[in-house]
Structure 1
Amino acid sequence: MIRRLSLAFFLFFIMGLNPALAKAVLSSAQQVWVSKIEQNLTQIQSFQARFRQTSPKGESSSGTVILVRPGRVRFNYDAPSPLLLVANQGKVVFQDRSIDQITTLPLKRTPLGLLLRPDPHLTGDVTITSFREIKGQIQLRVVRTAAPQEGELTLYFSKTPLALLGWSVLDAQGASTHIQLSDIQTGINVDPQIFTLPKAE
């Protein structure tokens, strides 16, 4: 089952296929929240957290994510999962070690790239298509302005304190892959070697 679903997990997780939605019309209060979120993301140059990933079909996996801006992230999936995802050097590389399969995509063509950019702003070349406040959370759905067909990314934040809780990617059929973060540690020191891109063995 893992072998059949691993590539699908990867594509849903980092790409998505949903077409563009209309640009959200934000109130003054919502614009203030967007500015605060941009400042919060900019201040966090690195973090480590536990993650739980839920696939479009409801399968769940977990592991540890390490992110260093700009452009680097590593998802270590807990055993017995054979999966590994690393972004570096402008690429996202997904490895399924059970079948020695490597899949590579340009980072800039994935919603994940929006989180890894040096200045994670949410205007200009990024368009907010939805802003929602639900039970003390803010949900922001965004697309690349010039290429919305490359995927939609929804970011989840707590309001008090303001913090990133996770994200999800929506595909064209309305199926969503969700990443939930916990035990977040910011400002960590990381050995750059952990972001070495995996290669076929």
Structure 2
Amino acid sequence: MKDLCSRLMRYGAIYHVRLWSVLLVMSLSLIGCATAGYDHLAAGERHDIHRVEAYLNGLSSIQAQFAQDGPAQQQGDGRFFYVPGRFEMVYDVPHATRAVARDGHLILRNDDNGAVTHLSLKRNPMGLLLRHPISFDKDVQVTQVARGEESLQISLAEANDPSQGLLTLQFSDVRGKLSLIGIQGVDGRHHHFGLSLFDVQENQPLDESHFIPPA
């Protein structure tokens, strides 16, 4: 079983966007093979994880355009903003909506009808993005590291309750420089969601108003 888990966790490269959902479901099934942290991984994979930790903890901000896919073929696009411990999504399609994640919660406001929704991220894989500083050991499982040509992705789960879901972070990796280009996930009900990021700008000043929860 250990050999099987090891082969599965080391398998594969970065897939085309249409296959990401399949890869995420495969990764979710690997959670039973994983242990907390990443000591169980090969030395090269641990090196890549350290690179990702250093990259994320070295960021002061990200802003980008996004395209979203989600359950039941839900689609959307808009603008994405991130600073350590917080992120915001401003949707233009399908509805004018603003979503702010911070302090363990996601708050969404539909500007068309004024409806406000509060969601807890404490048992949702997207909550891993709210950690600062970011460290993928102890209470986090690294379930998979996958390399492709000029690309890298890692899959993560909560070590104490991995059945709650899986988060996969996707990066371009050009001449040793990482840049976040995708955030994919599978929740505890195996519903897939994901953001593909475009026109990414890093370490540019962001107004604090981006991260004030909508009223």
Equivalenced residue count is 182
Q: Deviations over 1:113-136 (max 9, x none)?
A: 222321111111111111222333
Paired position in structure 1 for 2:163 = 149
Paired position in structure 1 for 2:193 = 177
Paired position in structure 1 for 2:119 = 105
Structure 1, unaligned runs of 5 or more: 1-15
Aligned 8 A contact 1:93 1:104 in 2: yes
Structure 2 letter corresponding to 1:68: V
SS of residue in 2 equivalent to 1:122: coil
What is the CA–CA distance in structure 2 between the aligned matches of 1:56 and 1:142, rounded to whole Å?
20
Q: Does 1:82 align with 2:80?
A: no
Aligned 8 A contact 2:59 2:202 in 1: yes
Assess, with a 3 A threshold, how the Cα gap between structure 1 residues 58 and 33 changes in structure 2: closer, same or farther. Answer: same
Paired position in structure 2 for 1:125 = 139
Aligned 8 A contact 2:165 2:190 in 1: no
Structure 2 letter corresponding to 1:153: L
Structure 2 letter corresponding to 1:167: I
**Structure 1 residue ranges, 4+ long, deviating more than 6 angstroms after superposition:** none
What is the CA–CA distance in structure 2 between the aligned matches of 1:175 and 1:80, rounded to whole Å?
19
Please say which of residues 94-103 and 129-138 is displaced more in the overlay. 94-103
SS of residue in 2 equivalent to 1:115: helix
Paired position in structure 1 for 2:76 = 61
SS of residue in 2 equivalent to 1:179: strand
1:155 Cα offset (Å) = 1.0
SS of residue in 2 equivalent to 1:57: helix
Q: Does 1:159 align with 2:173?
A: yes
Larger RCO, structures 1/2 (Cα 8 Å, 6+ apart): 1
Q: Percent identity?
A: 28
What is the CA–CA distance in structure 2 between the aligned matches of 1:80 and 1:112, rounded to whole Å?
21
Paired position in structure 2 for 1:22 = 33
Please say which of residues 22-31 and 136-145 is displaced more in the overlay. 22-31
- Two-structure CA RMSD over aligned residues (Å): 2.3
Structure 2, unaligned runs of 5 or more: 1-24
1:22 Cα offset (Å) = 1.9
- Give TM-score, length-normalised by structure 1: 0.79
Aligned 8 A contact 2:181 2:200 in 1: no
Q: Does 1:45 align with 2:51?
A: no
What is the CA–CA distance in structure 2 between the aligned matches of 1:194 and 1:72, rounded to whole Å?
10
1:172 Cα offset (Å) = 5.0
1:139 Cα offset (Å) = 2.0
- Give TM-score, length-normalised by structure 2: 0.75
